[in-house]
């Protein structure tokens, strides 16, 4: 009587959930460490999502390599969203991570979570989640500033906001996120190959 054991194709197991939890903790800490320097600096505030994307790539890719099942990344996004929300971050920031994580999950899933290119793309999308609150700003700069300026929004402010410089900032912000997270994903792929696959800790 032989009993060949197989635990694949069963949806998320407890081990997958625990792994997701642990790696979410690491992702959270690394995004926070990467972003905090920019977040507290008025001139660099737009590059906060870029800073957040710089460090977490290897963790994200190893999580995919260990679990490679649907919903793991979405759960990560939901938890990150809840934690950002509870720690008092802007709601759009939390929502951004939540939505982009689900999108990223589907992108990585398109390659069965095995394609390094799609996984990297998925990480870039995930990192773009951090731009949520800034997008809200660009969509409605008046509303954003209203609290500070009172209701008499000056014409000069609206003018400045409509000047091209701001679109420049918007583009620069997205470009920065894409570049930093691409670098991070690249380093992550290298590391996965060089270290973690050889060490036998990917599933």
Partner 1 sequence: MIEFENVSFSYTGQEHGGLHDINLKISDGECVLFCGRSGCGKTTITRLVNGLIPQFYQGELHGRVLVDGQEISNIPMYQIAAKVGSVFQNPRTQFFNVDTDSEIAFGIENEARPPQELIERVEQTADDLRIQKLRNRNIFELSGGEKQKIAFASVYAMNPQIYLLDEPSSNLDMTSIQELREHLRLIKKQGKTVLIAEHRLYYLMELADRIVYLEKGEIKGIYTPEEFRQLSEQERERMGLRAVDLRAVFPPKPHSIAPIPVLELRNVTLRYKKRTILHDIGLSAGKGEVIGVVGHNGAGKTTFSRALCGLHKDCDGQFLWESKPIERKERLQRSYMVMQDVNYELFADSVEAECSFGIRNPDQTLVNATLEELGLSPYREQHPNTLSGGQKQRVAVAVSMICGKDLLVFDEPTSGLDFDSMTQVAGLIRRLSNMGKVIFIVTHDFEFVCRTCSRVLHFDEGEMPDDVPVTMDALPKLRELFSVSDGKER
Partner 2 sequence: MSGKRHKKGLWLDPRAKLFLILICVLSSMFAPSLAYQFVLVMLIAILGAFFGKWKYVIKAVCFYAVICVLTVWIMAEMTGTLRTMFIAFLGLFHKVYACGTLAGIVLTTTKVNEFLSAMNRVHAPKKLVIPMAVMLRYIPTIQEDWRYIKDAMRMRDVSPSLAGFLAHPGMTVECIYVPLLMAASKAADDLSVASVTRGIENPNPRTCLVQIKCGVADWGVMAVAVAYLIFELCVRGGVIG
CB-wise, 152 or 200, nearer to partner 1? Answer: 200
CA distances from 44 to 5, 41, 181 (A): 53, 5, 17
Tell the smallest beta-carbon distance from residue 44 to partner 2 (Å). Answer: 9
Residue 42 interface partner, choices partner 1, partner 2, none, CB cut-off 5-8 Å depending on type: partner 2
Q: How far apart, in whole angstroms, are the C-alpha atoms of residue 91 and residue 83?
A: 11
- 35 to 64, contacts with partner 2 by CB under 8 A? 42-43, 45-46, 58-59, 62
Strand, coil or helix: what is 61? helix
- Cα dihedral sign, 60-62-67-69: positive
CB-wise, 8 or 86, nearer to partner 2? Answer: 86
Q: How far apart, in whole angstroms, are the C-alpha atoms of residue 54 and residue 181?
A: 5
End-to-end alpha carbon distance in the chain:
28
Tell the smallest beta-carbon distance from residue 4 to partner 1 (Å). Answer: 7
* x-marked contacts with partner 2 along 113-132 as a string, rule CB under 8 A: --------------------
Q: How far apart, in whole angstroms, are the C-alpha atoms of residue 126 and residue 120?
A: 10
Stretch that binds partner 1, among 46-54, 139-147, 176-184, 194-202 (CB under 8 A): 194-202
State the residues that interact with partner 1 by CB under 8 A: 1-7, 15, 194-195, 198-201
């Amino acid at each position: 009587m032989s009993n060949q054991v197989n635990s694949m194709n069963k949806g998320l197991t407890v081990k997958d959930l625990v792994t997701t939890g642990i790696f979410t903790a690491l992702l959270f800490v690394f995004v926070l460490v990467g972003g905090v320097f920019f977040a507290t600096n008025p001139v660099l505030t737009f590059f906060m999502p870029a800073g957040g994307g710089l460090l977490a790539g290897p963790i994200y890719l190893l999580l995919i390599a260990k679990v490679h099942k649907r919903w793991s990344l979405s759960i990560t996004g939901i938890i990150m969203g809840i934690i950002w929300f509870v720690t008092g971050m802007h709601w759009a920031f939390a929502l951004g991570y939540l939505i982009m994580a689900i999108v990223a999950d589907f992108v990585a899933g398109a390659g069965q979570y095995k394609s390094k290119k799609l996984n990297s793309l998925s990480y870039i999308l995930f990192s773009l989640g951090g731009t949520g609150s800034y997008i809200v700003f660009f969509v409605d700069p008046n509303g954003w500033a209203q609290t500070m300026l009172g209701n008499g929004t000056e014409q000069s402010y609206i003018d400045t906001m409509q000047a091209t410089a701001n679109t420049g900032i918007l583009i620069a912000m997205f470009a920065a996120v894409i570049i930093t997270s691409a670098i991070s994903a690249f380093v992550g792929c290298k590391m996965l190959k060089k270290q973690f696959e050889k060490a036998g800790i990917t599933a």
